[in-house]
Structure 1
Amino acid sequence: MDLAISEATWLQSLGPHSHELLEQVGDVATECAKRADEHDRTGTFPAKDFDDLAAAGLNAATVPREHGGLGLGPLNGDTLTLWLMTKELAKADLSLGRCWEGHTNSLVLLQALASEQQQERWFDGVARRGQKWVAWSGEPQARKPGEGTRFGTSITAVEGGWVLDGTKAFATSATGADWALLLVNTAGPGGARHADAPPEGLLLLACDLSDPTVTVDESWWDPIGMRATASHVVEFGQTFLPEENLIGTPGAYLHQGWQSAFTPHYAASFLGAAEGAFDYALEYLARQNKTADPYVQQRAGSMKVNIETSHLWLAHVAQLWDSGQRAGAQRAGNSARHLVEHLALETVDHCVRACGARSLVRPSPVERILRDLTFYARHDNDDHVLATIGRAALGETHDSSFFKP
């Protein structure tokens, strides 16, 4: 694929090691793509994909080098390489890309907030044993039509730690992860996103998911797309979380705005889905001898420009993170997340319109890409994201992480 404009700007910023890593990820992603349809049909976590990433030495991407990792991400001065790795995996399977995001973002949080002793303990499990991590906050309080109960957790302080009861929804990688970072509120249900309690009530606690008091309810997760993320409801029944598993100071996740480091990472996954549709369209249109059609040419041109633009935005935000311009990175990250969502959805639409209905018939990957991207773009409400960008531009008080007024 010719991305000459982008290559002149963002690819030249990557060193030889980054290019080697992206080539490795591309090789793994090729095999993951072959399994994506089966994972989607069965709604099963892509465990073999993560095994392949671990075997290739890629699963510890955001673990610092001194702890045996690759040292990528916004805390290590190499953000773009991480996001391009995510793009390649999401291009193969957007559900895989989301599970990978959750894993790598969790390790960023450990590097940012965990003690040195905690890092030595948990990073070793990732780098040496291929352990998989996730971060769960989801406790939506408003019921949808037909929903009988709210989700949510309650936590009680006891000698030596806390006891957790209740449920979390949208728990990505629920049947595949080994450890979870739990965002729980001492004020009661709501997690980080849906709680109105003071920030100091938000605890970040590591939970060993092999604990028998942690169970998974697989009956709830039956979505139109992103099925293989296995984002089930997880139930905690008197789960003991020891003091040594408390990460950082209470409220640090909100006070330091860590969610804003992950917002543009979602955009990298959106871009992967768009690039997957574009590659399919180029091959399909050539085989169907439709490349001389001027309307097809316009759609191909639009797809190419959308993908180039998305790369440039990601490279821009990554550079801000790597140069320590955190406030600028937060603002630009929200803009990138908003824009790339629209560019990616438009690219998939161009693909479908250019290729026709057969592109939506299995085993065409476009059918899955369309469902997955449509669903995953709801991860944040884009109306709220855009309003937050506007509030920042107008000098109004705003929440850059969770897009609240």
Structure 2
Amino acid sequence: MIKTLFDIELKDFKDCLERIAANASNIDDPQIAPVKEFQWLAECGALKIVLPGEPLDFNRPDTAALLGLLKRVGKANLSVGRIYEGHINALYLLHLYGTAIQKKAWYDAVLHEQAIFGVWSTQAANGITYESNAEQLMLHGAKTFCSGVSIVTHALITGNIDTPNRKGWQMMILDMSRIGPERVDRNSWETLGMKASGSFTTDFTGCPIMEQELLGLPGDYLGQPYFNSGAIRFAAVQFGGAEAILGHTMDYLSAMERTGDPFQKARLAAMLIDITTGELWLHQAGKNFDNWVNDSERSGELIAFANMTRTVIEEIGLRVMQASNQCVGARGLMSPSPLERLNRDLTFYLRQPAPDATRLAIADHFIKHQSEDAQSI
């Protein structure tokens, strides 16, 4: 049986998701942050769930269940799921690269202050660099696509550093209380969908940095297999959106008494097959991650499978949206139907970087290994 979050004891999580889903249309606005949604997630224990001693403690890996968690949050609201996935991603990077002192400080912030973390790595030409003088490091530049900037309390950002001790692409975790609201361009997120993620451009120029805020060593952020294999987490959130579209499509057809129509049945069958396929891919991706992530000989295989999973989920999302639109027609693309928002959000969220390069990398991996296998015969 495919493992889901309901195999984990997490108090009031189902009620939390129902409230998030019910409020989704009310926060479909870049200027309205999902404050209540993250209060609910904190109250049910979802913000701390991967910390030591918690049900999905990274020290006791159960990635299949973690993907189930991310899927269910995405199913409730893709924008909330995107911000939440960033929180989990940041805590995983802290788990991998943080010192004992850093982990204690930032884990305590989650446990006692309901801290929300985010990972902001995307930038334009005016991206982040670290500038040093005789006394301290200072940030210069901006980040784009800063998801949840209105509510994230601790931002993991990246930039180029060039000091006597550090050179390269460096992570740091910044307390966002040090960045004033005037540094956030609240007009920079005019999008088709994912409006509630509030992914505004943020200028960090002039912010001083302390040594203890630097996370890991230069280059760690792009370290493999962690960097590419992490795609399975955002794929899980995306898949939750596809599953939500299937559910709302079935509800619509039932309300219209159209579930007996053979053509509608055929479309539903195709959607159900796709959703079941996606569940199987995510479950196997989680198992592979746990089995291979610490095996250097399987790193390439892990990355290839993660790339395939990401690609399969993208294709499933596109097919499910098309079939749903055929099932419900124009009414499903009109507000206040939840399908109108879900179509916008999933269409936008599926546009992840370098989809063609991802497919080429999949082929390259297997072509290389086929050649190596042939030579070993």
Q: TM-score, normalised by structure 2?
A: 0.90
Displacement of 1:370 in angstroms is 0.8
For residue 303 of structure 1, what is the aligned residue in structure 2?
A: 271
Q: Do structure 1's residue 130 and structure 2's residue 130 form an aligned pair?
A: no
Structure 1 window deviating more from structure 2 (29-38 vs 178-187): it is 178-187
Which residue of 207, 213, 233 corresponds with 2:174? 207
CA distance in 1, matches of 2:136, 2:341: 43
Displacement of 1:330 in angstroms is 2.0
For residue 182 of structure 1, what is the aligned residue in structure 2?
A: 157
Q: Do structure 1's residue 166 and structure 2's residue 154 form an aligned pair?
A: no
Displacement of 1:367 in angstroms is 0.7
Displacement of 1:19 in angstroms is 3.8
CA distance in 2, matches of 1:119, 1:325: 21
CA distance in 1, matches of 2:170, 2:135: 15
> Equivalent residues in 2 for 1:275-290 (5 A)?
275-290=243-258
Displacement of 1:325 in angstroms is 4.5
> Equivalent residues in 2 for 1:390-405 (5 A)?
390-395=363-368
Displacement of 1:160 in angstroms is 6.0
Contact 1:213 1:238 in 2 (8 A): no
The C-alpha deviation readout for 1:254-313, integer Å capped at 9, x for no partner, is: 233432242011111111011111111111111111112111111100110111100101
CA distance in 1, matches of 2:136, 2:94: 19
Q: Report the 3-state secondary structure (helix = DSSP H, G, I; strand = E; otherwise coil) of the residue aligned with 1:135.
A: strand
Which residue of 27, 30, 35 corresponds with 1:47? 35
CA distance in 1, matches of 2:179, 2:362: 43
Contact 1:205 1:247 in 2 (8 A): yes
Contact 1:206 1:241 in 2 (8 A): no
Displacement of 1:77 in angstroms is 1.3
> What residue identity is the alignment partner of 1:45?
A
Displacement of 1:42 in angstroms is 5.0
> What residue identity is the alignment partner of 1:211?
R
Which residue of 352, 360, 364 corresponds with 2:337? 364
Which residue of 251, 255, 261 corresponds with 1:293? 261
Contact 2:42 2:114 in 1 (8 A): yes
Which residue of 14, 19, 23 corresponds with 1:35? 23
Which residue of 2, 6, 9 corresponds with 1:20? 9
For residue 227 of structure 2, what is the aligned residue in structure 1?
A: 259
Contact 2:304 2:361 in 1 (8 A): no
Indicate how the Cα distance of structure 1 residues 81 and 160 shifts in structure 2: closer, same or farther if over 3 A, else same: farther
Q: Report the 3-state secondary structure (helix = DSSP H, G, I; strand = E; otherwise coil) of the residue aligned with 2:285.
A: helix
Displacement of 1:26 in angstroms is 2.6
CA distance in 1, matches of 2:209, 2:226: 22
Q: Report the 3-state secondary structure (helix = DSSP H, G, I; strand = E; otherwise coil) of the residue aligned with 2:207.
A: strand
For residue 127 of structure 2, what is the aligned residue in structure 1?
A: 152
CA distance in 2, matches of 1:377, 1:262: 15
Contact 2:95 2:103 in 1 (8 A): yes
Gaps of 5+ in 2: 370-377
The C-alpha deviation readout for 1:227-274, integer Å capped at 9, x for no partner, is: 111100101121111001111111122233432242011111111011
For residue 239 of structure 2, what is the aligned residue in structure 1?
A: 271
CA distance in 1, matches of 2:30, 2:217: 40
Q: Report the 3-state secondary structure (helix = DSSP H, G, I; strand = E; otherwise coil) of the residue aligned with 1:183.
A: strand
- Name the Cα RMSD after superposition: 2.1
Q: TM-score, normalised by structure 1?
A: 0.84
CA distance in 1, matches of 2:322, 2:31: 25
The C-alpha deviation readout for 1:317-372, integer Å capped at 9, x for no partner, is: 11112224552332211100001111012112111111111111111111111111
> What residue identity is the alignment partner of 1:20?
E
Q: Percent identity?
A: 29
Which residue of 81, 88, 91 corresponds with 2:72? 88
CA distance in 1, matches of 2:151, 2:293: 35
Displacement of 1:151 in angstroms is 3.3
Indicate how the Cα distance of structure 1 residues 159 and 112 shifts in structure 2: closer, same or farther if over 3 A, else same: farther
Which residue of 49, 54, 60 corresponds with 2:48? 60
Contact 1:61 1:104 in 2 (8 A): no
For residue 99 of structure 2, what is the aligned residue in structure 1?
A: 115
CA distance in 2, matches of 1:385, 1:324: 20
Indicate how the Cα distance of structure 1 residues 270 and 213 shifts in structure 2: closer, same or farther if over 3 A, else same: closer
Displacement of 1:164 in angstroms is 0.4
Indicate how the Cα distance of structure 1 residues 137 and 386 shifts in structure 2: closer, same or farther if over 3 A, else same: same
Q: Report the 3-state secondary structure (helix = DSSP H, G, I; strand = E; otherwise coil) of the residue aligned with 2:110.
A: helix
For residue 374 of structure 2, what is the aligned residue in structure 1?
A: none
CA distance in 1, matches of 2:31, 2:65: 29
Contact 2:189 2:198 in 1 (8 A): yes
Gaps of 5+ in 1: 1-7, 141-149, 188-198, 397-405
Displacement of 1:159 in angstroms is 4.9
> What residue identity is the alignment partner of 1:30?
E
